[in-house]
Structure formats: structure tokens, C-alpha cells
């Protein structure tokens, strides 16, 4: 590779790293109902009300996902990414991506947290409710 090619590759990598590390949620931190926990990677506006399915999903998320992805899917510094982030918008990571991640695990590809293992004991129906919760959080935070 010539010097120009190396330079272009370095710029692409640098810009990609900058883009990924930015808090791209549409939530201003001064919003009164934005929740930012210590070590969280995103501020998250929580809707005043969740649908019945999302409420079930919230309980399932808290029991099976929050230990890594943190409360309200805000992510945890050094542990797991925020799911309330434009990377996980439905047009980029569709619902089946979440199903496969839970069932099969995921090789690290957007974030520097390492691979996500499969989550034992969480079935497709559970993940469907969890997805409803995540999608409602995303919509409340301007991620469509």
C-alpha cells in the first residue's frame, strides 16, 4: 500500500473510532427525565409509560441484560455498549439481530468490549419483549 493509501486508511479508522465513542443519543443531558448513571455511556430518557409488552421486556432486561448493558440499556464503561445508540436503530440492527445475539452470542464488531456470549435461559419470546422495551427507549431518545 502506498503512503496515500495508508494515510486514507488511518483517517478512516480515526474517524470511525471518534464516531463510535461519541454519545450519539438524541438526549440532551439537561433533560429532566434523562437518566445518567455513574459509568453509563449514554444518557437515556425513559418514557413516562411503557406498553404492556415493553413493561414485560423491562423486567426481562433487568433480570438478564442490565448486569452488562446497565439500567435502561445505557451501557457500562468497560463492560458493554449502550443499546440506546444509533448503531442499534432498527434499520441497522433489526429485531432478529437481538434474537441472534442472545441465542448465539456476537463477535465484537462495533465496540471495544469484546465478544458477547450467548445468554442461557432467555428464549425468543423473552427477547421479543426485551426488544419492545429497547425500541420504546430508543424512540423516546430520537432513535427510529
Percent of the chain surpassing pLDDT 90: 71
Alpha-carbon distance of 24 to 26, in angstroms, equals: 6
Alpha-carbon distance of 141 to 143, in angstroms, equals: 6
Confidence band (pLDDT; 50, 70, 90) for 14? very low
Length of the chain: 144
In tens, the pLDDT along 27-42 reads 333 333 444 556 889 9
Count of Cβ atoms closer than 10 Å to residue 106 Cβ: 15
Decide if pLDDT at 22 tops 50: no
Decide if pLDDT at 6 tops 90: no
In tens, the pLDDT along 63-109 reads 999 999 999 999 999 999 999 999 999 999 999 999 999 999 999 99
Is 112 in contact with 13 (CB distance < 8 Å)? Answer: no
pLDDT at 33: 42
Q: What is the mean pLDDT of residues 45-49?
A: 96
Residue 117 DSSP one-character state: P
Amino acid at each position: 500500500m502506498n503512503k496515500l493509501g495508508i494515510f486514507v486508511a488511518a483517517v478512516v479508522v480515526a474517524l470511525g473510532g471518534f464516531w463510535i465513542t461519541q454519545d450519539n443519543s438524541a438526549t440532551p443531558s439537561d433533560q429532566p427525565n434523562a437518566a445518567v448513571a455513574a459509568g453509563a455511556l449514554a444518557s437515556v430518557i425513559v418514557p413516562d409509560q411503557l406498553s404492556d409488552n415493553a413493561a414485560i421486556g423491562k423486567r426481562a432486561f433487568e433480570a438478564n441484560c442490565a448486569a452488562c448493558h446497565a439500567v435502561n440499556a445505557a451501557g457500562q464503561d468497560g463492560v458493554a455498549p449502550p443499546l440506546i445508540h444509533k448503531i442499534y436503530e432498527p434499520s441497522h440492527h433489526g429485531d432478529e439481530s437481538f434474537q441472534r445475539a442472545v441465542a448465539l452470542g456476537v463477535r465484537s464488531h462495533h465496540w471495544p468490549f469484546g465478544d458477547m456470549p450467548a445468554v442461557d435461559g432467555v428464549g425468543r419470546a423473552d427477547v421479543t419483549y426485551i426488544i419492545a422495551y429497547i425500541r420504546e427507549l430508543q424512540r423516546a431518545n430520537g432513535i427510529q
